[in-house]
Amino acid sequence: MQVLFLSPAYPPEMIEYTRGLAEVGAKVLGVGDTPAHALPERVKPYLSDYLQVPSIMNEGDLVARVKQWLGHRKVDRVEAQWEILVLAAARLREVLGVSGMSYDTVLGFRDKQLMKERVAKAGLRVPYAFRARTEKDVRDAAHTIGFPVILKPIAGAGSADTYRIQNNEELERILPALRHVPEVSVEEFVDGEEFTFDTICIDGEPVYMNVAQYLPRPLIARTNEWISPVIVTVSDLNQPKIRKGIELGKGVLKALGMGTGFTHMEWYLKSNGEVVFGEIGCRPGGAHLVDQMNYTNDIDLFREWARVVCWRHFAASQRRVYNTAIIFKRAQGEGYIRQVHGLEAYKRRFGQWLCAEQLLPVGAHRRNWKQTLVSDGFLIVRHPRWEDALMMADAAATDIQMFASR
């Protein structure tokens, strides 16, 4: 089994997927724009071969170089777990004659307007939305839908360049900030709780499922620096509150023609009980969500994804033991981390439930909280009881404080 894997060392979590492939017996042929000598030592043992390209983002050049490099060698799978490379992987499959999801199918997971159109065609509830390429398009769409509206990139990832617009004045103020985005989706704002639906699929059928809740909704968290965003996986997937969301998610997978691999979907639960589709990617969730799922089940989904991709088999336990919360921290002030208050007391209080603590150390420079959800670090805690997991997450959000200065 030979697997061509795009960008095996960046972002850093890609090393875990490379490891997973090697551990289930695949020969991993890595392709990236990091020089071979600069690859992290940790990833090198998992690679059977490696090609450096000038730019992993230049799809045409990437395809030509990979084809020349492979020569007469055959690969069995072409995979990418980084959102911005899933279309390049699909193009390589078609050029190399490798089975897997087609370019058109993957486009349905990448182009947010096309995505909604295909999901709506299957009779599933999606936000009302329009594709906009000019500022006039945006204004016309916003007035057709009615405020509030959401503006987001058609091919975006996460909540980058995403805005909730309340009125005409806000719209005119935000439009200049989106001039670097070629196409945006202007869509209805759906008021409700926000959840994920995550899967590993074989031919579109989930062999592993996960639901997590955002607290608060990402759009609120990314516009208020003082908030410590929290994501909590749900141990009990049979509860009535989320059952309709799971059924919606399964319908979306069918509507978009999902093949084999990871998916990450977001959906809304309105106060009247209606569930509404948000968006979906044919790749795993970021910001350590896979780590959370691993802690929820006490399994290794990096390896299980690889086993599914290579051998079409999921071997790990499906038993969901814990509700697992990740809490992202943001320091007060600018510059360098100078103080961290409350961490040791928190560890003494909840140490037995603490899975990971990766806060930036004193002396480290603050990250740009608007560009990365991970912000200035995170903690992961878990507990069999939902209420206790929420309580520990709230304590980490409020009792641990980080301070920065220049």
Average pLDDT of adjacent 10-residue blocks, the chain of 406 residues = 98 98 98 97 98 97 98 97 97 97 98 94 94 89 91 74 88 88 90 97 98 93 92 96 97 98 97 96 97 98 98 97 98 96 98 98 94 94 98 98 96
Q: Is 188 exposed, middle or buried (0-12, 13-18, 19+ CB in 10 A)?
A: middle
Task: Kindly state the tokens that stand for 75.
Answer: 């690969």
- Parallel, antiparallel, or unpaired for β 354-359 and 377-383? antiparallel
- In this prediction, residue 371 carries a pLDDT of 86
Count of alpha carbons within 13 angstroms of residue 314, beta-carbon side:
20
- In this prediction, residue 157 carries a pLDDT of 63
Which residues, in sequence order, are bridge partners of residue 280? Answer: 265
For the chain, the domains span 2-100, 128-188, 193-405
CB 86 within 8 A of CB 280: no
- Of 398, 243, 406, nearest in space to 327 by CA: 398
Q: Is 104 exposed, middle or buried (0-12, 13-18, 19+ CB in 10 A)?
A: exposed
- In this prediction, residue 158 carries a pLDDT of 57
Find the helix or strand (DSSP H, E) in which 23 lies. Answer: helix 14-23
CA distance to 74, 166, 202, per residue, from 99 (Å): 12, 46, 13
- In this prediction, residue 152 carries a pLDDT of 86
Which residues, in sequence order, are bridge partners of residue 188? Answer: 149
- In this prediction, residue 177 carries a pLDDT of 83
- In this prediction, residue 181 carries a pLDDT of 86
Q: What is the pTM of this model?
A: 0.92
Q: What region does 287 belong to: left with phi over 0, alpha with psi -120 to 50, or beta? A: left
CA–CA separation, 222 and 224 (whole Å): 6
Q: How many CB atoms lie within 10 A of CB 307?
A: 23
CB 216 within 8 A of CB 229: yes
CA–CA separation, 234 and 148 (whole Å): 30
- In this prediction, residue 79 carries a pLDDT of 98
CATH number, domain 2-100: 3.40.50.20
CA–CA separation, 336 and 338 (whole Å): 6
- In this prediction, residue 288 carries a pLDDT of 97
- In this prediction, residue 279 carries a pLDDT of 94
CB 246 within 8 A of CB 237: yes
Task: Kindly state the tokens that stand for 281.
Answer: 């990617």
Q: Is 237 exposed, middle or buried (0-12, 13-18, 19+ CB in 10 A)?
A: middle
CATH number, domain 193-405: 3.30.470.20
- Report CA torsion sign: 67, 111, 173, 137: positive
- Of 117, 70, 88, nearest in space to 256 by CA: 117
Find the helix or strand (DSSP H, E) in which 91 lies. Answer: helix 86-96
Considering the segment(s) 128-188 as one domain, its CATH architecture is 2-Layer Sandwich (3.30)
CA–CA separation, 86 and 370 (whole Å): 24
CA distance to 5, 18, 69, 96, 203, per residue, from 301 (Å): 17, 12, 31, 28, 18
Helix ranges restricted to H, 111-207: 112-121, 135-145, 168-174
In the block, tokens 């038993």 appear at 319
